[in-house]
């Protein structure tokens, strides 16, 4: 800005000198300096002051040689480079556009919430067997519980006679514990994880809502496993504790282990005989029966 | 690697190597940082010493600045106006270091250190004494400047343009201009005495 006497201000002179004035203003100052000795003298004084200051500043430029700091920096850079991979990963993540990051976070949140819901409301999801999510009890809620009993006591009766019905109140408590509200209860059987025929108790820790109508691994299949293990224990083909532990850990795996099959079968056997094993189709309509010397495998 | 010399650019912008820096090899970036260190170490050191830091602290700040620059470049961040970036980081680190040391800013210490040196090669002892007195007086004068004015002056002395100074100090272009004018007018008076 030119002052009231049409001379450039000191600030304009400095800006002009530093090449920081815009084109038209710079041209005006340049024209003025050509014509005005006073302003040229002032501009020269500014330049002189800059020169004197730089001379002073130069005195402080007598710094130690660069060789040693440069060598130190090289060593530190080499060390930093070792951590570069991690930083690069961070860069890839944090370098994403904010909107993409927001979508990623929202997606992660939804997955986390979904998992939480599954863990809370789907029986057996937490059992560690994702393949059979919903078919196995929640091990936290239903770890299995036994009662002290002698083998003679459980073997003096048939398995069906040992298993006592579960009261409606207890069934209701089990449903509540599993957070099952508004679901059709008739589709579930509140079942013993370790059946009383194998020494299981009616403690709530041994009870869980088992799906009745799952196409393959339903409560009827588990009943057959329980019958079979009861017979094996009573015929001293299997240790009671092992039977309890196998069922409590994962009854489907136990089924596969003791029936030597990956799909449920229909069995009309006793532990002393050669069983007739019938593969059940997924719909259960077509039965393919064959003989399998199970007893021989146990011996 | 192509790094233009300081004098050839107004607002220093270093071109990235082919592709992003993330994809560039770390050894290549290391070499670039070393080159920049060789180019700017003295300027940077002079600037941070103006905060009253000791030479050891100043060297350490310079090291930290270029280590930060390495990470900055390795993460593929912007390479535009790296000179401004370097001085900006140095400015902040110097302030932090000074605060950590709980030392008051003392340009007088620098003046005292300089007064022990042979500042003027003049053979005349009387002229040498006069020169030292003048330097001491000017340092004392600088000491009385507001910190922002002093920073503007030193940054300009290191070749930064007004826009870069404004970026480093976080002030407007007009403030930079006014600050430099004010400082020079004061210095002019001091030299006139």
Show the tokens assigned to B62: 């310079």
Contact A13, A39 (CB under 8 A): yes
Contact A298, A239 (CB under 8 A): no
Contact A88 B74 (CB under 8 A): yes
> How does pLDDT run along chain A (299 residues), one tens digit per residue?
555 457 899 999 999 989 898 888 888 899 999 999 999 999 999 999 899 888 887 776 578 889 899 999 999 888 887 766 655 556 566 666 677 777 887 888 888 787 766 655 555 444 444 445 567 888 888 899 988 888 887 787 766 666 677 888 888 888 888 888 777 777 778 888 998 888 888 888 999 888 776 767 777 788 888 888 888 888 888 888 899 999 998 888 898 888 888 877 655 444 444 344 444 443 333 333 333 333 333 33
Which helix (H) or strand (E) element contains residue A266?
A: strand A265-267
pLDDT exceeds 50 at position B63 = yes
A-chain CB neighbours of B188 within 8 Å are 45-46, 49
Report the alpha-carbon distance of residue B16 to residue B10 in Å, rounded: 18
Alpha helical stretches, state H, A183-293: 219-234, 240-249, 251-259
Contact B66 A11 (CB under 8 A): no
Contact A88 B181 (CB under 8 A): no
Rg (CA), chain B: 19
Contact A53 B188 (CB under 8 A): no
Nearest to A70 among B27, B38, B162 (CB): B38
A-chain CB neighbours of B46 within 8 Å are 57, 60-61, 63
Neighbours of B146 (CB within 10 A): 11
pLDDT at A129: 42
- The SS3 assignment for B76 reads coil
> Hey, CA dihedral for B145, B151, B157, B163, is it positive or negative?
negative
Would you mind telling me the total number of residues written for chain B in this entry?
193
Suggest the residue from A26, A73, A87 to mutate for an interface test with chain B (most B CBs closer than 10 A).
A73
B-chain CB neighbours of A14 within 8 Å are 177, 180-181, 184
Report the alpha-carbon distance of residue A175 to residue A108 in Å, rounded: 30
Contact B46, B154 (CB under 8 A): yes
What percentage of chain A's residues is helix, strand, coil (to nearest 5)?
55, 10, 35
- For chain B, give the percent of residues with pLDDT over 70: 75
Contact A91 B22 (CB under 8 A): yes
Q: How does strand A188-192 pair with strand A207-211?
A: antiparallel
Suggest the residue from B7, B9, B30, B57 to mutate for an interface test with chain A (most A CBs closer than 10 A).
B30
Contact B6, B46 (CB under 8 A): no
Report the alpha-carbon distance of residue B122 to residue A183 in Å, rounded: 101
Neighbours of A45 (CB within 10 A): 17
B-chain CB neighbours of A49 within 8 Å are 184, 187-188, 191
**CA A28 to the chain's CA centroid:** 70
Q: Which chain A residue has its CA at the smallest distance from B157's CA?
A: A54
Contact A77 B55 (CB under 8 A): no
Report the alpha-carbon distance of residue B53 to residue B109 in Å, rounded: 9
Q: How distant is the Cα of B30 from the closest Cα of chain A, in angstroms?
A: 6
Measured CB to CB, residues of chain A less than 8 Å from chain B are 10-11, 14-15, 18, 20, 45-46, 48-50, 52-54, 56-57, 59-64, 66, 69-70, 72-74, 76-78, 80-81, 84, 87-88, 90-92, 95
Nearest to B74 among A52, A73, A84 (CB): A84
pLDDT at A174: 86
Contact A56 B138 (CB under 8 A): yes
Q: Report how many Cβ contacts below 8 Å link chain A to chain B.
A: 112
Please state the pTM of the whole predicted model. 0.50
The structural domains of chain B, ordered by start, are 1-105 (1.10.1740.10)
B-chain CB neighbours of A45 within 8 Å are 188
Neighbours of B64 (CB within 10 A): 17
Q: Is the ipTM of this complex over 0.85?
A: no
Which helix (H) or strand (E) element contains residue A248?
A: helix A240-249
Report the alpha-carbon distance of residue B169 to residue B166 in Å, rounded: 5
Report the alpha-carbon distance of residue A194 to residue A139 in Å, rounded: 13
Would you mind telling me the total number of residues written for chain A in this entry?
299
């Amino acid at each position: 800005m030119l002052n009231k006497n049409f001379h450039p201000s000191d600030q304009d002179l400095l800006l002009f000198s530093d090449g920081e004035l815009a084109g038209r203003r710079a041209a005006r100052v340049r024209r003025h300096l050509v014509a005005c000795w006073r302003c040229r003298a002032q501009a020269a004084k500014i330049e002189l002051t800059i020169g004197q200051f730089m001379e002073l500043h130069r005195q402080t430029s007598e710094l130690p040689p660069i060789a040693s700091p440069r060598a130190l920096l090289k060593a530190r850079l080499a060390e930093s480079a070792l951590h570069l991979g991690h930083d690069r990963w961070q860069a890839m993540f944090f370098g994403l556009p904010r909107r993409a990051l927001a979508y990623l976070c929202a997606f992660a949140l939804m997955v986390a919430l979904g998992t939480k819901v599954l863990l809370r409301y789907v029986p057996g999801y937490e059992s560690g067997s994702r393949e059979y999510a919903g078919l196995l009890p929640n091990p936290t809620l239903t770890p299995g519980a036994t009662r002290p009993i002698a083998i003679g006591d459980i073997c003096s009766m048939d398995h069906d006679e040992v298993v006592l019905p579960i009261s409606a109140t207890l069934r209701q408590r089990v449903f509540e514990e599993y957070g099952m509200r508004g679901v059709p209860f008739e589709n579930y059987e509140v079942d013993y994880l370790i059946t009383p025929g194998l020494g299981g108790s009616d403690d709530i820790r041994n009870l869980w809502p088992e799906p009745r109508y799952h196409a393959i691994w339903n409560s009827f299949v588990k009943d057959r496993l329980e019958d079979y293990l009861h017979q094996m224990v009573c015929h001293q083909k299997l240790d009671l504790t092992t039977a309890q532990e196998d069922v409590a850990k994962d009854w489907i795996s136990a089924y596969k282990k003791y029936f030597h099959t990956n799909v449920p079968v229909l069995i009309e056997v006793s532990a002393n005989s050669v069983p007739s094993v019938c593969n059940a189709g997924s719909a259960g309509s077509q039965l393919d029966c064959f003989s399998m010397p199970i007893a021989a495998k146990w011996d | 690697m192509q790094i233009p010399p300081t004098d050839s650019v107004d607002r220093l912008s270093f071109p990235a190597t082919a592709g992003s820096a993330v994809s560039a090899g770390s050894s290549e970036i290391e070499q670039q940082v070393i080159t920049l260190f060789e180019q700017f170490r003295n300027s940077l050191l002079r600037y941070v010493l103006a905060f009253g830091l000791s030479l050891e602290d100043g060297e350490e700040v310079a090291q930290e600045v270029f280590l930060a620059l390495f990470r900055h470049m390795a993460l593929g961040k912007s390479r535009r106006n790296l000179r401004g970036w370097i001085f900006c980081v140095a400015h902040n680190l110097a302030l932090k270091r000074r605060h950590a040391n709980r030392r008051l800013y003392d340009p007088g210490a620098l003046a005292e250190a300089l007064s022990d040196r042979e500042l003027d090669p003049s053979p005349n002892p009387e002229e040498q004494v006069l020169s030292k007195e003048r330097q001491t007086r000017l340092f004392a004068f600088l000491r009385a400047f507001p910190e922002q004015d002093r920073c503007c002056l030193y940054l300009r002395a290191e070749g930064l343009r007004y826009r870069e100074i404004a970026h480093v100090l976080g002030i407007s272009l007009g403030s930079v201009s006014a600050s430099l004018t004010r400082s020079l007018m004061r210095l002019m008076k001091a030299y006139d005495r």
